[in-house]
Structure 1
Amino acid sequence: MKAYLQLLRPHQWLKNLMLLFPPFLGGTLLVGQYSSGQLLWPLVAFCLGSSASYILNDICDVEQDRLHARKKHRPLAAGKVGIHRAVVLAVVFVVVAAACAWWVSAGFLMFLLLYLGISLSYSLWLKDLPLIELFCVVSGFVLRLLAGGEAYGVVISDWLFLSVFLLALFLVSGKRLSELRYEGGETPGHIRPVLTCYPKGFLEGCMLLSGSAVLVTYTMYVISHQSTIWVVPLSCFGLLAFWMRVLSGRGGDPTRALLRDPILFIVGFLWVLLVGWGIYVGS
């Protein structure tokens, strides 16, 4: 059971909280507007769908994972779970996720299927194409945001869309840079061949560009929504803390960083408190 649980990567479900951003920032999440079912079913659908995509990705990468110092311990690479059973589990998860999404709305199901389609295309072909593979991973964050807006009936503002897109690009670039520098990514034929296609300094520049841009777009979002301006310096601190974490070789996975880095966890917690206070108490 532990091996099957590892196969699902439940720690990555943290990304699905992006679905709650629209109602949280829109001021409707904590006012009793939604029933427990309305809140939970979209999260359940994306948790099951994302786990299915992780399983399919592990199936496609099983041979490469066996050569990786850390990923060789994954259930499929280590032989703890058979390929056939993993395929069956992924199909079941996709079917149940689609059923849950259909119960939410047809539009929400469209976003889920688009997410699954991009994830499958990424695992089969697109992961070997530089820059395109970056945007495939980034699209997962953006689709969660749009799906949340659809599920909870909240319109996504342009500034919020751009902020999430640029933040996702910053985080994904940091993860790739960490892999390239500290996980043997520069070795030809190793775990992620696409990393050797990026010119020297490209990923660092991508982090600098997207990190700077997200501060601008998020500042505009805060000002346009008359939110507390203190969240901008806090966000700047968080971006720099993640950048320093990546450059110091402590890992670039966003979910692991948030769960294991006390500084980033405190920044995230304070951000939720400040934004929540400004929306639900200060107003």
Structure 2
Amino acid sequence: MTDPKPLVLDVDGTFLKTDLLFEGFWAGLGRDPFATLGAAARHFRDPARLKAELARIAPLRTDLMPVNPEVADLAAQAQAAGREVCLASASDRTLVTQLATEKGLSPRVFASDGVTNMKGATKAAALVAAFGEKGFDYAGNEPVDRKIWDHAETAIVVGAPAEAQALRARGQAVTECTGGWALKSLWKAIRPHQWVKNVLLILPMIAAHRFELATLVPILFGMMAFSFAASSIYIVNDLLDLEADRLHPTKCRRPFASGAVPIRVGMLAFFGLAALALGIGAALNPGFLGIVVLYMVTSLAYSLKLKRMRWVDIATLAALYTIRVVAGAAAGQVEVSVYMLIFIFPVFVALGCVKRLTELTLAKNDERLPGRGYGRPDRGDLLNVAGLGVFGALLIFFLYSVSDQGRMLYPDTWLLWLAMLPMGWWLIRMVMLGWFGKQDYDPIVFALRDKFGLGILMMTLSLMFWAAGLWAKWFGG
């Protein structure tokens, strides 16, 4: 016999493994940050109006959003049994209706309309008016759903075992579905493997031949601060790139894009990591704190706008890597050479081009990369700019070798010239690996894992130490 009772599904955190309000907020920040922040400020106490404004500012691709497979299976079984499956959500009606249409669910939806916020007791009253007391089954995931479960015949509880236990204790029929998130997924979202890039903070200490512990320790704390700062920005970047990541063949598995970690958890993690970074920066010295702030502001500008601008994005990436070197000098109170800064910038320009070359080589078609300003036809131009970066870096290194400062630190100038051979080999090899798509998506991380490339860099460094007389000083002879 067909069960006439409809199955009613909450959307945020229940049918979807994400939240449409936060999706709209971050999509709005990416599209029109001033309008989005203005709407949030004006309508903070009027959630129904805020949701309507966000839906207007940034229409969402609900077809790309991650669905809870268990809840989707329940919906499919209910439809196969001839039951109506409705969505009931506090999210804006436009988005909920769009989602219901895309997933083949009932056109009858219960949602916020810009005036009424369809949540808690308001949602319960609407469902009872439509289906009667105990006239429906309801799937939800939060304590606020208790007010609806009280009026449902069967409570379907998603990822909230404590709620399920409390409902059973009251004698209500309960079906449980898995949900929630794991700490290991959040750990993946902060990308600790990217922290290796902060080894760049040690470069000023090496260049200045300041190998004492008093210089190294504050630099290590500086690396910690930059690790936390970078992770906070990675979270922001992922939240701004949700749609683009879901369209990407591998980035679609990132924790926020896949729904493995809720957006609100990511937002809390961002604030916590940023606070740690700024706290450590303040404890070191005001100059270093200022550089951390500069890095975070520049990174946010990159995530919000600059990464979508051709060539500007590569210059910004190079600047962000260069800032790390300046930060190392500030943390260790080491004087950094102007030549060094001028040298490393074109190196990082070349590596920024390598990053884009790798993405384009691995792309499956000639369309522009999602959220970027490049398509595969741009590979030739990127290769040319990378070549200019390599040439510029080697030219500046040569000029440094004959400068007064260079001669003072490296008396055997001819050995510096010899060091340019493995240095150039490493740079050209990196560019060609990007051209043929034989790297991952971050050249710095790749370089620090590439054993052959590290060997070339060690050759370069050894020749520079020899030119400086450090081998003789350390080991005699």
For 2:426, give the aligned amino acid.
G
Aligned partner of 2:208 among 22, 26, 31: 26
Question: What's the counterpart of residue 246 of structure 2?
Answer: 66
Taking the aligned partners of 2:265 and 2:462, their CA distance within structure 1 comes to 43
Aligned to 2:75: none
> SS state of the match for residue 130, structure 1?
coil
Q: What is the RMSD computed on CA atoms of the aligned residues?
A: 2.1
* Structure 1 residues 147-205: Cα deviation after superposition (integer angstroms, max 9, x where no partner): 111121222222111111010000001111221222247324x5243114985622111
TM-score, structure 2 length as denominator? 0.55
Q: Greater relative contact order: 1 or 2 (C-alpha under 8 angstroms, separation 6 or more)?
A: 1
Q: What corresponds to 1:187 in structure 2? A: 367
How far apart, CA to CA, are the structure 2 residues paired with 1:273 and 1:171? 23
User: After superposition, what is the alpha-carbon deviation per residue over 1:107-159, rounded to whole angstroms, capped at 9, x for unaligned?
Assistant: 11111101100111111122211121112111111111111111212222221
8 A contact 1:21–1:148 mirrored in 2: yes
- Any gaps of 5 or more consecutive residues in structure 1? none
| In the alignment, structure 1 residue 80 sits paired with structure 2 residue 260 | yes
Alignment partner for residue 2 of structure 1, among 184, 188, 205?
184
Among 5, 11, 18, the alignment partner of 2:193 is: 11
**CA 1:220/1:33 → structure 2, altered by over 3 Å: closer, same or farther?**
farther
Give 2:421's aligned amino acid: P
Aligned pair partner of 1:238 in 423, 426, 439: 426
Letter in 2 for 1:264: G
Question: Does residue 99 in structure 1 map to residue 279 in structure 2?
Answer: yes
What is the distance in 2 between the residues matched to 1:100 and 1:56?
Answer: 20
Match of 1:212 among 382, 391, 402: 391
CA contact (8 A) 1:178 1:247 kept: yes
| 1:231–1:271 Cα contact (<8 Å) kept | yes
Within 5 A, what are the aligned runs for 1:1-283?
1-28=183-210, 30-34=211-215, 36=217, 38-184=218-364, 186-188=366-368, 190-196=369-375, 199=378, 201-224=380-403, 225-226=406-407, 227=410, 228-229=415-416, 230-251=418-439, 253-276=442-465, 278-279=467-468, 280-282=470-472
The letter for the 1-side match of 2:194 is Q
Runs of 4+ residues over 4 Å off in structure 1: 197-200, 276-279
**Which one has the bigger strand percentage?**
2
Distance 1:198 1:143 in 2: 31
Distance 1:243 1:193, change over 3 A: closer
Query: CA separation of 1:212/1:89 partners in 2, compared to 1, >3 Å: closer, same or farther?
Result: same
Aligned residue type for 1:9? R
Unaligned runs of 5+ in 2: 1-182
Matched letter for residue 213 of structure 2: G
**Separation in 2, partners of 1:32, 1:259:** 24
**For the structure 1 residues 87 and 179, does the alpha-carbon distance in structure 2 shift closer, same or farther, using more than 3 Å as the test?**
same
Determine the C-alpha separation between the residues in 1 that align with 2:222 and 2:208: 17
Equivalent residues of 1:130, 1:198 under 8 A apart: no
Kept in 2: contact 1:173–1:207 (CA 8 A): yes
Q: One-letter code of the match for 2:471?
A: V
Structure having the higher Rg: 2
Map Cα deviations across residues 64-90 of structure 1 (whole Å, 9 max, x no partner).
101111111111112111111011101
In structure 1, C-alpha distance between the alignment counterparts of 2:189 and 2:286, rounded to whole Å? 29
**Contact 1:15–1:255 under 8 Å retained in 2:** yes
Give the whole-Å Cα distance in 2 for the aligned partners of 1:87 and 1:185.
Answer: 34
1:60, 1:186 → 2: CA distance?
Answer: 24
**Alignment check: 8 A CA contact 1:130 1:197 kept:** no
Question: Residue 277 and residue 79 in structure 1: after superposition, are their counterparts in 2 closer, same or farther (change >3 A)?
Answer: farther
Distance in 2 between the 1:58 and 1:93 partners? 15
CA distance in 1, matches of 2:379, 2:434: 16
Following superposition, the deviation at residue 20 of structure 1 comes to 1.0
Give the AA of the match of 1:271. Answer: T
Aligned equivalents of 1:191 and 1:173: distance in 2?
17
